[in-house]
Structure 1
């Protein structure tokens, strides 16, 4: 069985898309996934599944969420090895872990859409794109940051962000035995 990390987009934020973590764990158990654990209340789950393809797992979890809770929630899925690679491939200095974000996307980031975004125009914020992730160092915090908003408007793709503390905890939870 492969260990996976599922990152749900936009749940339990401002009273919208409420999904209690106990019910999410039960739903994932019902899909036949093993060793299901969640982290925080923002839709982070780690589990084992017989599937080998993260896209297959993502589709199954999205369909189960719609059936169980209603609505449509995007789910970004990474294998445990992919999550570890996200941590290991970080090209930026972390600074303060709660002010350092990784945004996860289902598909590789279309860098052509970001060609006219000059990250240097948004100091002290920094960003780096690697595959299906964008790393952000936001020294003043997410509430003051303009760069992620500019990038989101350009990409028009729904990703989901986690701070560095959460990313590293999920990578540890997902490390293969």
Structure 2
């Protein structure tokens, strides 16, 4: 059984697409996943599955269909394995322990690999304040004045890359890895 993390985009934000975590957990269990647990209200779900992530029907599509059937919302879902999240944390080009006061770090996780044209559109963008680094299916974002003021918002990345994305702060990313590692041990 593999440990997976489902990251839902755009739920429980500004009163939109409201989903209670207890109901989301139950939906995952009804889909046949085991040891399901949620973390905070923004749609982070850890679970175990014997199914491969990219099987006949990708796990993300199966979960998206379940959310639409149960809650009536179309919600993009990005899936990563625990090992993939560990890799993301280990390969951040902006060392979290060297951030200046007021700086924050985020990871935007892409639902699929962007096209070469999308990559070109993003790489043409620069900011005098913030920085980013595209690495495969992730975008690391260093915000010097907070994500709310950053050019590199989730919507901006989706527009440039033409790929669904969901963004998490560095503390959430670390907590998801901790919870996933505890699942593996337990």
| Normalised TM-score (structure 2) | 0.86
Structure 1 counterpart of 2:19: 19
Aligned to 2:109: 104
- 1:139 deviates by 1.2
- Paired residues of 1:9 and 1:75 also in contact (CA < 8 A): yes
2:83 to 61, 81, 84: 81
- Across the two proteins, how many residue pairs are aligned to each other? 176
Following superposition, the deviation at residue 118 of structure 1 comes to 4.4
TM-score (norm 1): 0.90
Superposition map of 1:1-177 within 5 A: 1-54=1-54, 56-94=58-96, 95=99, 99-115=104-120, 117-118=123-124, 121-148=126-153, 150-175=156-181, 176-177=184-185
Q: Runs of 4+ in structure 1 displaced over 6 angstroms?
A: none
Q: Distance in 2 between matches of 1:73 and 1:164?
A: 22
Alignment deviations for residues 73-127 of structure 1 (CA, whole Å, 9 cap, x no partner): 11000111111111111112332698211111111233532425445x4123110
Q: Is the deviation greater in 47-56 or in 79-88? A: 47-56
Task: Give a deviation string over 1:115-168, Cα, whole Å, max 9, x none.
Answer: 25445x412311001111000000100121113364433223220000000011
